[in-house]
């Protein structure tokens, strides 16, 4: 069976798709990168914005036009909150809600083993790493799912339910197998990463998990994905004394206005977020601190937005992920009064994006003239100087550099020679 797998949205979705790929490969199936030759197509959908939902529908229709014989299986958050709507899209086959996602691969083939023993994992991981989905240098590791917070804008809690953590030993074993297979970096993912272990009765679960991974695996680089700015142990940032834990934190703020944060039911404030950011920077040199922001939340006035702009600039984030608010079904905010006009949202969103571009450029400019270690993830073309390689520094700055040798999945020093809002240009050491 030839299977095409695709993920829309968050790193957690990507982690789930990678797990499906390994399970299918272990059962002797082929993962393909061309929908035209696929027997089955799986799309892990997202519902966080209206645009993400539209993307799922358009992908389904487009793939069906190109390959009407392929069964298109739709899963993920959009498939969970609106299964009937998604099932009516032209080309849609089975719609699998999140609660059944763990069994999806066995639905495609009942002979697939989803409990592959540890001693059998490394060969499968090596095959997955080498090939059929395209080469991978970073692995996304799902450590927990769901969230117990009730942010008024968030449909993910509706779609994924309460927080559930994986057992620490299973995570450590998976990461060690990935390291043995050649992966250079593991990224821990979850809906609410900071709540890891709470359902086991451990309020310091994420700290303990990170310590265990650093102690019991050989993975060269460990990174955390999106981390809500609460539920962190008091000594959490001391973990970064180990250089394998990378100096990059993505902590979603969502708004720089205390009034709007309360309407969002966020468990943070301007003061507490600033205190957390200062503590992180005190412990982590060259920290890349990025965030998410929702613009045009119901009730946001021009004064509230001005507060947000001022606060975001004062925190001096390295990168902003900016979203215009869109009402999501089943969320409290969708019923709030004082919804912001679409034209106003668009204008404010553009202003926040422009601030983010300036902050990113300033952050990148700090490293011009320095030599940073880069994990090279692939090439994006060639010229007379050789292949043009793209990779990421330990603090998650995107680097492009020419290299006449094969740099894929290698970590090498590169001198940073120029900066832009979307990354930097480097010169690989020894290749001047």
DSSP 356-406: HHHHHHHHHHTTTT-EEEEEEEEEEEEETTEEEEEEEETT--EEEEEESS-
Phi/psi class of residue 134: alpha, beta or left (left: φ > 0; alpha: ψ in -120 to 50)?
left
Q: How many domains does the chain have?
A: 3
User: So what's the pLDDT on residue 380?
Assistant: 85
Residues 141 and 163 in one domain: yes
User: So what's the pLDDT on residue 234?
Assistant: 86
Q: Count the neighbouring beta carbons within 10 Å of the beta carbon of residue 385.
A: 11
Domain membership of residue 59 (yes or no) is: yes
Burial label for 89, CB within 10 Å (0-12, 13-18, 19+), is middle
Phi–psi pair at 346, nearest 5 degrees: -60, -45
Residues 224 and 337 in one domain: yes
Domain membership of residue 122 (yes or no) is: no
Domain membership of residue 116 (yes or no) is: no
Residues 379 and 409 in one domain: yes
* Helix, strand or coil, per DSSP, at residue 144: strand
- Tokens at residue 72, please? 């298109």
Residue 324 neighbours by CB under 8 Å, 6+ apart:
294, 295, 296, 345, 346, 349
Domain boundary residue, one of 364, 381, 399: 364
Domain membership of residue 115 (yes or no) is: no
Return the closest-CA partner of residue 297 out of 338, 269, 325: 325
Return the closest-CA partner of residue 352 out of 378, 328, 324: 324
Residues 271 and 294 in one domain: yes
Residues 211 and 83 in one domain: no
Domain membership of residue 121 (yes or no) is: no
- What CATH number should be reported for the domain holding residue 259? 3.80.30.20
Domain boundary residue, one of 90, 108, 126: 108
Residues 236 and 335 in one domain: yes
For the chain, what is the mean pLDDT? Answer: 92
Residue with tokens 């069964």: 71
Residues 251 and 310 in one domain: yes
Residues 388 and 356 in one domain: no
Residues 8 and 138 in one domain: no
- The Cα–Cα gap between 76 and 47 comes to 8
- What CATH number should be reported for the domain holding residue 80? 3.40.50.2300
Domain membership of residue 113 (yes or no) is: no
Residues 348 and 213 in one domain: yes
- Tokens at residue 130, please? 């080498």
Rg of the chain taking only CA atoms, in angstroms = 22
Asked whether the beta carbons of 179 and 172 are under 8 A apart, the reply is no
Domain boundary residue, one of 345, 364, 383: 364
Range of the domain at 53: 2-108
Residues 319 and 263 in one domain: yes
Residues 265 and 403 in one domain: no
In tens, the pLDDT along 210-232 reads 999 999 999 999 999 999 999 99
- Tokens at residue 38, please? 């696929």
Residues linked to residue 165 through DSSP beta bridges, in sequence order: 144
Residue 373 neighbours by CB under 8 Å, 6+ apart:
393, 394, 411, 412, 413, 414
Helices (H), 222-294: 258-264, 270-283
- The Cα–Cα gap between 132 and 30 comes to 7
Give the chain's residues under pLDDT 70: 114-135, 384, 430-432
User: So what's the pLDDT on residue 185?
Assistant: 96
User: So what's the pLDDT on residue 23?
Assistant: 86
Cα angle value 389/360/307 (rounded, 5°): 155
User: So what's the pLDDT on residue 27?
Assistant: 85
Residue with tokens 């934190």: 249
- The Cα–Cα gap between 212 and 216 comes to 6
- Tokens at residue 210, please? 């990170």
41 sits in which H/E element: strand 40-45
Domain membership of residue 149 (yes or no) is: yes
User: So what's the pLDDT on residue 122?
Assistant: 52
């Amino acid at each position: 069976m030839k299977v095409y797998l695709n993920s829309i949205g968050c790193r957690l979705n990507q982690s789930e798709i990678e797990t499906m790929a390994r399970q299918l490969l272990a059962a002797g199936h082929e993962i393909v990168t061309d929908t035209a030759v696929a027997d089955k197509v799986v799309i892990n959908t997202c519902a966080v914005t209206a645009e993400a939902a539209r993307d799922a529908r358009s992908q389904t229709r487009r793939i069906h036009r190109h390959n009407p014989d392929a069964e298109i299986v739709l899963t993920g958050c959009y498939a969970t909150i609106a299964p009937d709507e998604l099932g009516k899209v032209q080309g849609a086959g089975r719609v699998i809600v999140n609660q059944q996602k763990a069994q999806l691969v066995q639905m495609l083939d009942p002979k697939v083993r989803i409990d592959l023993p540890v001693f059998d994992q490394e060969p499968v991981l090596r095959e997955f790493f080498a090939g059929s989905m395209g080469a991978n240098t970073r692995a996304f590791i799902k450590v927990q799912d769901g969230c117990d917070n009730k942010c008024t804008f968030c449909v993910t809690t509706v779609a994924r339910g309460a927080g559930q953590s994986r057992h620490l030993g299973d995570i450590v074993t998976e990461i060690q197998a990935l390291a043995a297979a050649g992966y250079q970096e593991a990224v821990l993912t979850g809906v609410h990463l900071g709540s890891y272990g709470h359902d086991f009765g451990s309020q310091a679960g994420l700290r303990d998990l990170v310590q265990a991974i650093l102690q019991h695996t050989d993975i060269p680089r460990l990174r955390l994905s999106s981390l809500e700015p609460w539920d962190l142990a008091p000594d959490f940032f001391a973990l970064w004394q180990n250089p394998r834990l990378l100096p990059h934190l993505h902590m979603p703020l969502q708004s720089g206005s205390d009034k709007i944060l309360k309407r969002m039911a966020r468990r943070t404030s301007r003061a507490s977020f600033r205190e957390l950011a200062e503590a992180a920077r005190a412990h982590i040199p060259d920290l890349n601190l990025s965030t998410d922001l929702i613009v045009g939340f119901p009730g946001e006035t021009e004064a509230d937005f001005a507060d947000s702009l001022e606060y975001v600039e004062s925190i001096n984030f390295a990168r902003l992920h900016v979203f215009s608010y869109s009402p999501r079904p089943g969320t409290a905010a969708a019923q709030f009064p004082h919804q912001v006009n679409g034209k106003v949202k668009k204008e404010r969103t553009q202003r926040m994006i422009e601030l983010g571009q300036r902050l990113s450029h300033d952050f990148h400019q700090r490293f011009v003239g320095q030599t940073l270690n880069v994990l090279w993830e692939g090439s994006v073309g060639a010229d007379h100087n050789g292949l043009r390689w793209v990779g990421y520094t330990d603090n998650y700055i995107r680097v492009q550099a020419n290299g006449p040798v094969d740099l894929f999945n290698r970590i090498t020093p590169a001198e940073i020679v120029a900066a832009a809002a979307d990354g930097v240009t480097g010169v690989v050491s020894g290749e001047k």
